[in-house]
Structure 1
């Protein structure tokens, strides 16, 4: 039996133990910023400008106001593009990337948007978990016997 040592780099190329690069959390979450705006979205740019104008009106943002703004925001066509938690997460992630590129990551607005992203992500995770429980019940026979329809 012949066992060859292959690495991700290819056959015959082994990586040094501990030489792997650490990927920062911002990059894993999609907040890295570098190269993220290669194809600018005019609809998002319009939303971003409206959001920043709205945020600038407040000294301190009330809790939950960013999520409420996302739910009620309507584009020029009258559509509400951020009605679901997944779309809200995507929009807030893009907003954070744009703010980071503009050097606004130290401000109070960035912190509030980060809090809103965590909140929306938690709600999204809860909804997905609930839907999984509803549509894919336990396969344990003992649990099924106790279910009364």
Structure 2
């Protein structure tokens, strides 16, 4: 899929799936379709349990020894304001520094390849080069879909 059609894929999930056994969440259970309310209730329960555990485990510790069991992968497409809000929520609200952009994982292999191939962590060239090219080679791209 490419971005503009991803919302209409026939195999796109439209309802949450949760690992269930005997009608309850079970980490070893089978994926079962559940209501959004059930999915959010389970997420809330697990998140609150992790935060409670962190509070108890960190009681009396100096700041440099505090650990957190909650974290979040953010989006490389966030606006500055969304990233700021997420950072404040996690760092001030949940007392966790475990927030990271997905870009670190998404681009890690590309950056490694750029460094090996070109000695730089970014693609070579610039838009000005397009005016001087006789041909373009696009790998893995469908320009009609972009």
User: Do they fold alike, i.e. is TM over 0.5?
Assistant: no
Which of the two has greater strand per residue? 2
- Which TM-score applies when normalising by structure 1? 0.29
Larger proportion of helix: 1
